[in-house]
Structure 1
């Protein structure tokens, strides 16, 4: 099978139209149509059929498409990995959870940069599912996320645990809840909360914890994925939020938010580096991962001692 024809075939399936696919591939429609006819002839099977909705793959076409897409993605990844060598500029594309960009990732990058002053580093924040999808598509060299969400995806990824993280319920330093001798989830549920969108790990954990106590989830909710906005709102109101223990650590001034003295096993999580099995990590990436592990463990030890 000709890899170029397979790549063309994948684009036709995704565009649902020969005209749209030809435009995207910057080739003529007759040339693309001829290429698809030859692919079907070479395989001895019908792969595409026309319908009122456009061009659709047959059952066999769906099977070939899954392989064609993987081949095309591998070719794209190879091209991207060669680009830095042609440009004489090494590049790392890192995807990470927003909750790790307030402390862990910046501190690790600061240390790593001293060893690699000329490497271009791109850092992208996304939720776990989007990180994994981006990794599978070759958008990232590696991602740093949670291990709990790894098993829902297909083969082709590998992971290594870097450090143990702990989520805490944060409130402003003078919040009324700090005056209570004992805390329960019923006490916490009475206050407004800031939560990520539905489906994010912290949101799911909160809902499970309050439901286990026979309580309804908090009704006063602000949905937001920004860690900076979450911390600002906590500091200036009665809102509560689940954040990593290291989120309140500041290198310059005392933090205006504090962790409430309540914890359960569900608030612990493993942070791992996840990468494509067929795209081994380069030395510059391994160096950055080393510092992420080092900083993560140092911050985890500091918060455990403070707790």
Structure 2
């Protein structure tokens, strides 16, 4: 069963004439006749009484409302696809890590809204692993995350590097480690640590680093908001390893202190390299065929490359 067969049948039903149906469909009368015959052969019953005025048979009368529905659905579907290709997208959904949402993404969002005022922009702050999962499930169009090659290296993904940022230590201004200009790794192991929850790339990064250093990680609390991190760490001896972008709101807080990490001491690691995280933007190849998504990607790339220190 083909769409042109259904269109031919509908046209004959509407006009009562094979000749008029052929004109309406832009084909020859013999083509319409073959299409109707093919449809009847597939269904196993005649659909039309042939004569000076073609009329529907019982089977044709049963089929007609379904054909109308199928062709209307197809017309609606093709119109939606054409709108999508033309950039008439009803919404664009983005998932991004907290620090990106708070500090780096707002200028991009403003520019995009000016370019596409008719597109509903939806931004959700999520951990990296969760952001990549909702991208994979088709719930968002782009994800800005801490890179995890195990999750980003799918064949359909397009991955754009945005920036690397150092991991630093957040502590109370009265904390014993605040006396250090640069905090040695063995000193970190002496204090309880606040971590991002499972599913956040930072948790995995910190755990892997402690393991590579042969140190025990005293993880005593898991949180998922930066406000909560600051509130807990102000209270006393807990510390946290966080990326620089997550510490912007802590810079001018007199109750908090931020210190750099010493270079890693593991034998298999380059002593010149401090701990960093890589932030990337991920979407899929098919999504980049849609103008609003492609332009959002361009805005992010241009803004981040020029503004991230």
- TM-score, normalised to structure 2, is 0.60
Tell me whether 259-268 or 201-210 shows the greater mean CA deviation: 259-268
Shift in Å at residue 94 of structure 1? 0.4
Task: Name the residue aligned to 1:124.
Answer: 124
The residue that corresponds to 1:173 in the other structure is: 173
Shift of 1:145: 1.3
User: C-alpha displacement at 1:193, in angstroms?
Assistant: 1.1
Contact 2:132 2:152 in 1 (8 A): no
C-alpha distance in 2, partners of 1:138/1:131?
Answer: 11
- Tell me, what secondary structure is at the counterpart of 1:239? coil
Call closer, same or farther: CA 1:174–1:112 in 2, change over 3 Å.
farther
Is there any run of 5+ residues in structure 2 with no aligned partner, and where? 3-76, 264-272
- Tell me the TM-score normalized by structure 1: 0.60
Question: Counterpart of 1:202?
Answer: 202
Aligned to 1:240: 239
5+ residue gaps, structure 1, are 3-76, 302-307
CA contact (8 A) 1:249 1:255 kept: no
Residue equivalent to 2:228: 229
- Quote the offset at 1:150 in angstroms: 4.8
Rounded to whole Å, the distance in 1 between the matches of 2:111 and 2:124 is: 19
How far off is 1:276 after superposition?
A: 1.5
For residue 283 of structure 2, the aligned residue among 271, 275, 281 is 275
1:285 CA drift (Å): 3.2
Report the number of matched residues. Answer: 225
**SS of equivalent to 1:139:** coil
Note closer, same or farther for the CA distance 1:223–1:290 as it changes in structure 2 (3 Å cut): same
Q: Is the 8 A contact 1:161 1:271 kept in 2?
A: yes
Cα deviation for residue 140 of structure 1 reads 0.8
Q: Is the 8 A contact 2:144 2:280 kept in 1?
A: yes
Residues of 2 paired with 1:161 and 1:217: CA distance?
A: 30
Looking at structure 2, the residues matched to 141 and 297 of structure 1 have their Cα atoms a distance apart, in angstroms, of 21
Structure number with larger C-alpha Rg: 2
Alpha-carbon displacement from aligned partner over 1:139-165 (angstroms, at most 9, x marks no partner): 111111133335565422111112223
User: Which SS does the other structure have where 1:167 is aligned?
Assistant: strand
Alignment of 1:29-108 (within 5 A): 90-108=90-108
